[in-house]
Amino acid sequence: MESGYWSLLAEGKQQMPRSYPPEVRRQVIELARAGTKVKQLAATFRMSDATIYSWLKQDRIDRGEAEGATTSQQLELAAARRRIRQLETELAVARKVNEVFLAEGVAPKGSTR
């Protein structure tokens, strides 16, 4: 094993994170594509077979070898959804502020009423 993160993990000084560093993902995918068995990779890197199979499936999609949303498309969609939630929240706040001002009889800025 290499020094750093993996040596700490091997010594039991650090717990496995829920997400893996991108370089680990790349290394596992390269090894699997080169013919290393998934079971062996899972044991070596202390991760589930399902994680590796999921990464391999996404790698095939990203390479255009399989149908599905690419990683960049998924990231773009997630960013769009976050922005929509943010805008919906801002709109709800603006509506609430407007309701309060109207209830208090305060005219909107620039109003000539």
Instruction: Spell out the domain ranges in the chain.
Output: 1-68, 69-105
Q: Is the pLDDT of residue 26 over 90?
A: yes
Count the alpha carbons within 13 Å of 45 in the hemisphere toward its beta carbon: 26
CB 52 within 8 A of CB 42: yes
- 15 has a pLDDT exceeding 60: no
Checking if the pLDDT of 17 tops 60, the result is no
At 25, the amino acid letter reads R
Q: What is the largest CA-CA distance in the chain?
A: 76
pLDDT score for 11:
64
113 against 41, higher pLDDT: 41
Distance (Å, whole) CA 77 – CA 71 = 10
CA angle 36, 37, 41 (to 5 degrees): 80
C-alpha pair distances (Å), 4 with each of 13, 28, 47, 101: 11, 17, 18, 58
pLDDT for 69 beyond 70: yes
27-40: average pLDDT: 97
The pLDDT of 10-33, averaged and rounded, is 81
Considering the segment(s) 1-68 as one domain, its CATH architecture is: Orthogonal Bundle (1.10)
Section 2-17 average pLDDT: 59
What's the pTM value of the predicted model, to 2 decimals?
Answer: 0.64
Angle at 45 between CA 29 and CA 14, to 5 degrees: 135
DSSP state, 99? Answer: H
